[in-house]
Chain A
Amino acid sequence: MPSYLKQFLRSPQGRSLTEQLVGNLLALLIVIAVTAVLITASFWLPIQHVMILYLIPVIVAALRWGSLAALLAGVLGLAASAFFFYEPIYDFRVHSPAHLVDMLMFITVAAITGWIAVTVRQAKMRAQAESLRDALIGSVSHELRTPLSAIVGSTSVLAQSTTVERDEHLSSLVRVVRNEAERLNGNIQNLLDATRISSDGIQPHWEWVDPEDIVSAALARKRPMLAGREVALAVADDLPLAYVDPSLIESALGQLIENAAKYSPANTPITVSALSSNDAIYIEVGDKGAGLAAGEASKIFERFYRSPRVAGVAGSGLGLWIARSLTQACGGRIKAFSAGEGHGTTVSIALPVRQQPASEEGDE
């Protein structure tokens, strides 16, 4: 065998070519087997409409080896029935109109079932590839976390040492390592969340929670990232309790706060507010940044969408998509508003107000 052919057979395309050849060969064998069975049976039974049985090789080939093998099985089936079973026998011609109708029916049914089987096969292969990818991302994220913990922990000890504290250059470098490691950790968390959302879906852990707690927890967690930014907090009195998974909504809100900080000038304030109407609790984050262009209000929630106007800011295009998925998992909605480019953005999480649980009596 020439070396280039060997090389080709070892390459990914080559491998699929070999697989296809084997598939076609097996399809041929099944057709032969069906024909042999039919011929044997025809010694005892008055077999008339054999065509239907040739659907078996077509469907098997479509499920196992794809469309080409299915087509081959179909053509061979037609040829075999014309040659062996339909008058005149041992001749490819077919005289009886009934047999011609048989063959037309066969072609129609084989085409439809073959197509369905091929679609099923492709979906199965795609699902396999996806679950493999998700498992890979999951284990990679976990493997990244452990060294990251050593980096974050070690730099935090370095930052405390008096030698480093005294030296301005050293302490700023330690800060850089620390901040970048934290950012990497945030990205890994996003990757994990995205995997969780797309692989097995999210199973919310429902409980009654005070929206105030969600707001203050998200703010507390994002505080280091806000680095002294002015945050205007407006939480309405007597908000109803929300029935959600608090951790999911807190993550979603955290994404919004992080985005507001990232995409607006450092000297402008960020507003975080919580209010309620009769049927919804709204948690909103507003900034005085670049705003949204026409049509962007829904686009920004798409996976991997990034506005061309923020190309200078590092990001993956996952944050808002994650926020939307987490919110929706808790029965909420998420929306973005903007008075136009240059007029800032407000993103709002709306959580449904459910029938409040019975309160307890007497404790004064």
Chain B
Amino acid sequence: MNDTPPVVLVIDDEPQIRRFLRAGFDLEHFTVLEEETGEAGLRTATLRALDLIVLDLNLPDMDGAIVLERIRGWSKVPIIVLSVRASDDDKVRLLEAGADDYVVKPFSMPELLARARTALRRQARGTHGEPVIKVGPLSIDLAARAVLVDGVRVALSPKEYRLLQVLAQHAGNVVTHNILLREVWGARHMQNAHYLRILVRKLRRKIEQNPKEPRVLVSELGVGYRLASGSESD
């Protein structure tokens, strides 16, 4: 990343949670801003240039999901959602409303930092354009449409490549089943979740060292799939 430290806005009404988030982000040289309510969070998000928002869903004045939607109305800043409500439906709804990732409370700081760095890296890639994505032994050259495992080119079917491409564009973050189905098969096939299962299985046979214990194309049960981020699989 560049010289100026990334600015993160924490929106959470629990002071104890904010305290450890501040300490954790400080250790990693982030500049931390804090807000306790959705209103105040929205105001700060409009006034300051932010690199990341960590948003608690359970706010005293409004549902965190509404804060998320409002911010997405004008900004593409990466948003990671914190939640104690952990139902799969909720996660899917948040991701499709534009959250970059979610972390379920209780969580450890390294877990959150890994998600944060992934989201920041993706943001940077979006602006600078970085055609090659590496995950462990796998490298995906989006410009040349080439996929290599340990330097050896792998032949993929068009749908296999398309699936990998969508995941690579979000490398490190979860992509929901619905989004994958729409991007690979089109909106008419949103109900055919089993297409995705079978395609993922085929793709894993080609890109995973041990397809039974996937490390690259990871499943988030009930939610979607994630291409492990570079730092996690190194």
Residues on A facing B (Cβ under 8 Å): 142, 145-154, 156-157, 160-161, 178, 181-182, 185, 205, 207-210, 212-217, 219-220, 233, 235, 241, 245-247, 250, 356-357, 359-360, 363-364
Contacts and interface: CB of A to CB of B under 8 A. Distances in A.
B158 interface: yes
Contacts of A250: 221
A153 B17 contact: yes
Nearest to A243: B194
B233 interface: no
Nearest to B23: A157
B219 A216 contact: yes
B17 A246 contact: no
Contact of A208 (B88, B158, B197): B197
A213 to B, nearest CB: 4
B193 A153 contact: no
Interface in B183-199: 185, 192-195, 197-199
A149 B197 CA distance: 34
Contacts, number: 116
A136 to B, nearest CB: 18
A210 B106 CA distance: 28
Nearest to B14: A146
Q: Is the interface of B mostly helix, strand, loop or mixed?
A: helix
Interface of B: 14, 16-17, 19-21, 23-24, 27, 84, 88-89, 105-111, 157-160, 185, 192-195, 197-201, 211-214, 218-222
A216 B214 contact: yes
A149 B106 contact: yes
A359 B199 CA distance: 10
Nearest to B88: A247
A20 to B, nearest CB: 45
B197 A152 contact: no
Given A157-B24, A233-B213, A357-B192, A205 B88 contact: yes
A149 B192 contact: no
Given A157-B23, A157-B27, A247 B109 contact: no
A217 B222 CA distance: 11
